[in-house]
Structure 1
Amino acid sequence: MSLESHLETLQQRHSALDSEIAALRQKPAAGDTEIQELKRKKLVLKDEIERLRISRN
């Protein structure tokens, strides 16, 4: 897998998590713990994307 395709995959996963978080916030029974876990995963992906972008340059 090339670096560009890997970055694109990570960005897609990041966007998917963003959508999932937004959907959970709309549900009255959404647990804060679940939302926080998704936010943590999203942050990990963001950090990985930035790390790869920096190493690419």
Structure 2
Amino acid sequence: MSLSSHLQELKKKHASLSDRVEAAQRAPSTDGLHLAEMKKQKLRLKEEIARLSSGRLH
């Protein structure tokens, strides 16, 4: 998988997770721990996207 296609896949996952977080925040029965975990996952994806975009590969 090329770097650009990997980045695009990460961005799709981030956008999908963002939609899920927003929907969960609107639902009154959302579990707070589940919401927090989704937000952490979203942040990890964002950081990975930023790291790969800047060219600082391990």
Name the TM-score class by shorter chain.
Answer: over 0.9
Structure 2's unaligned 5+ residue stretches are none
1:10 equivalent in alignment to 2:7: no
Between structures 1 and 2, the one with greater helix share: 1
Match of 1:31 in 2: 31
User: CA RMSD, aligned part only?
Assistant: 1.1
TM-score, structure 1 as length reference: 0.92
Look up the equivalent residue of 2:17 and give its one-letter code.
L
**How big is the shift at 1:25?**
1.1
- d(CA) in 2 for partners of 1:26 and 1:54? 34
- d(CA) in 2 for partners of 1:2 and 1:28? 41
Displaced runs of 4 or more, over 3 A: none
Alignment size in residue pairs? 56
Look up the equivalent residue of 1:7 and give its one-letter code.
L
TM-score, structure 2 as length reference: 0.91
Tell me the SS of whatever aligns to 1:55. coil
Structure 1's unaligned 5+ residue stretches are none
Identity, % of aligned positions: 39
